Amino acid sequence: MNIQFLQLQTHGDDRGSLISLEEGKNIPFQVKRVYYMFDTGQGVKRGYHAHKSLKQVAVAVRGSCRFLLDDGKEKIDFRLDNPCQGLLIESFVWRVMYDFSPDCVLMVLADSLYDEADYVRDYATFQSMVNP
Ligand code: TYD
């Protein structure tokens, strides 16, 4: 699957912890956009799309949520719950985010500006694109 877990180096001392995200260093692309989801309601599921070319890194900077990822061949389901861990998702991976903890802040860095034309929002269309 077109994903990777990134271990983000923590600069910790007796004051606490700090993580820096830098393009070309621990973020393997040019960062054009950052967005974050928070105050996600109980039972809400988000996503239900793939991207044609977008690369993204997601970090649960606070709290946790589950990811269900699907590339048309395999599905993986896991919890993202560590601010020291980044999840790199590249193109043509269908994603659903769910089971957000009430305190979850899910931050996403992206290599492009928001572009609705890059989205595949219909699962049958996604399937036909990855398994032609
Ligand atoms: P949406 O695509 O529904 O989020 P998700 O699929 O990840 O659950 O986005 C919610 C709204 O926010 C929608 O109106 C589009 C808008 N939006 C932006 O304007 N810029 C962005 O970078 C993103 C990710 C969404």
Distance, CA 54 to ligand 1 centroid (Å)?
14
Q: What are phi and psi of 44, to 5 degrees?
A: -75, 140
Q: Which fold has domain 4-9+23-130?
A: Jelly Rolls (2.60.120)
Q: pLDDT grade, residue 1 (50/70/90)?
A: confident
| 60-74 mean pLDDT | 97
| 76-94 mean pLDDT | 97
**Is residue 91 within 8 Å of 97, Cβ to Cβ?**
no
Distance, CA 37 to ligand 1 centroid (Å)?
9
Q: pTM of this prediction?
A: 0.94
pLDDT score of 12? 86
| 32-43 mean pLDDT | 97
How far, CA to CA in Å, does 13 sit from each of 16, 18, 19, 62? 6, 9, 12, 19
**Nearest-CA neighbor of 51 among 130, 104, 132, 131?**
130
- Closest atom of ligand 1 to CA, residue 46: 8
